[in-house]
Amino acid sequence: MKTCDVDGCERAARSGSAAFCGMHYRRWLKHGDPLATLHRVACEADGCAEPHYGHGWCQMHYWRLKRHGSLEERPRPTGPEHPGWKGDDVTYEAAHLRLKATLGKANSHLCVDCFDRAQEWSYDGSSANEQRCLRRRIAYSTDPAYYVPRCISCHRKHDLGKKVRT
């Protein structure tokens, strides 16, 4: 019975005409070298112990280098510095997402009317640059300074009768 052609390997060859045992044959197929080791190489970035993904880098550093040309994390611009910033030309929903990102969740505040736990942000109606949402029939502002925290009951009472006429 024929043994593997790799020095020091005593395993049987895959067949009578094969040069390698099963393990060395698979290494040869995958890496082009029957002696290739299967241990994971660490990322080449300083201080990174993540496993190698491609071209010497872990997956995160590989994609940073490919996308930005640098291994450093780039801060994500927000507000007017963001390339997709639309200023005051945003929908009711987008204005409320901006509000939540700026002021946080309303439930971390007390209602300005009854001092119960607030649940929603409520537009106070005093913005000079007031926008209108005809679908919801309500006015809103794109500036978070014109919002106050209210509980649901006080918010409904405040908004009662302030629907936008279509």
Model confidence over 105-136: pLDDT tens digits?
Answer: 999 999 999 999 999 999 988 888 888 888 88
Q: Is the pLDDT of residue 38 over 80?
A: no
pLDDT digits (tens, 9 = 90+) for 51-78: 877 777 889 998 988 888 888 887 778 7
CB-count exposure of residue 23 (10 Å: 0-12, 13-18, 19+): middle
- The answer, yes or no, to whether residue 165 has pLDDT greater than 70, is no
Neighbours of 94 (CB within 10 A): 12
CA gap 71, 27 in Å, rounded: 31
Task: For residues 98 and 82, give the distance between their C-alpha atoms in angstroms, rounded to a whole number.
Answer: 13
